[in-house]
Structure 1
Amino acid sequence: MRNTLTLILAGGQGTRLSPLTSERAKPAVPFGGIFRIIDFPLSNAINSGLRRIYVISQYKAASLTRHVGKAWSHLSRELGEFVEVLHPEQRIGEQWFSGTADAVYQNIYTLEQRESEHMLILAGDHIYKMNYAPMVRQH
């Protein structure tokens, strides 16, 4: 699991959740008190032994960035563990991300800097509990 890089795609507008998403990305919408929707895939990843995580943001990401920075800063950088939010840089072309595959593609430079055998790509706006370890081990 240490050689797996996890990407959580968290840039969606979430128009169907309006007005909850009028000022924040869908993964940053509060859920059950102190939690946010993004906490579900992050918790699943951490509990599965995945500790190298990028959250790729785009739409109104300030509250998402703030929450991830406060709630998920307990990992050990000295051991190569991290949860880090990546913001659009428009490295390739002049467009913002035009879908999930493009979000990964436009961050390829950053992703290639981290050596990894596997890459797990997750949605940042799904609410469920899952252990990803068996799936990663099968690949």
Structure 2
Amino acid sequence: MRVLGLILAGARGKNLGPLTRMRASAALPVCGKYRAIDFTLSNMVNSGISKVGILTQFSPRSLMDHLGSGKEWNLDRKTGGLFILQPFATETSMFWYKGTADSIFQNMTLLRRGEENYVLIGS
């Protein structure tokens, strides 16, 4: 069974106030060593998912620095592995994702051309 993992990691986390003023909620430190995204990403990898896309939006720098090439999760590969999906401008959309469904819709080309039978969406 081939599965594509998508992690929604672009939220600002307005309910977290000053903690998310300068970073996405997925990049928040947990126990000093981990980030909030680590738990979802580790669960996907431990479930046998070897192709994971991270949908970012708000202030992704610290999140991208933390994820790096995906080596910590054994996702540093030439095919599959870890990849970042940032919003971009096209003829039909203008930059920012308007919400969860729109972030998936703007990346529909990736889903259609992929060889995976299933898509697992986490946050």
TM-score normalised by length of structure 1:
0.79
Cα deviation per residue 1:74-127 (whole Å; 9 max; x = unaligned)? Answer: 32525x34011111113332251111010000111233332111111111xxxx
Cα deviation per residue 1:39-88 (whole Å; 9 max; x = unaligned)? Answer: 01001001111111001000001111111115x2232525x340111111
Q: Does the CA contact (< 8 Å) of 1:90 and 1:106 recur in 2?
A: no
Q: Does the CA contact (< 8 Å) of 1:5 and 1:53 recur in 2?
A: yes
Residues 96 and 41 from structure 1, CA distance in 2 versus in 1: closer, same or farther, beyond 3 angstroms? same
Count, aligned residues? 120
Corresponding residue for residue 118 of structure 2: 118
Identity of aligned residues (%): 39
Structure 1 unmatched ranges of 5 or more? 124-139
CA distance in 1, matches of 2:76, 2:10: 26
Q: Does the CA contact (< 8 Å) of 2:88 and 2:94 recur in 1?
A: no
1:14 corresponds to 2:37: no
Residues 23 and 107 from structure 1, CA distance in 2 versus in 1: closer, same or farther, beyond 3 angstroms? same
Structure 2 unmatched ranges of 5 or more? none
Give me the CA root mean square deviation: 1.6
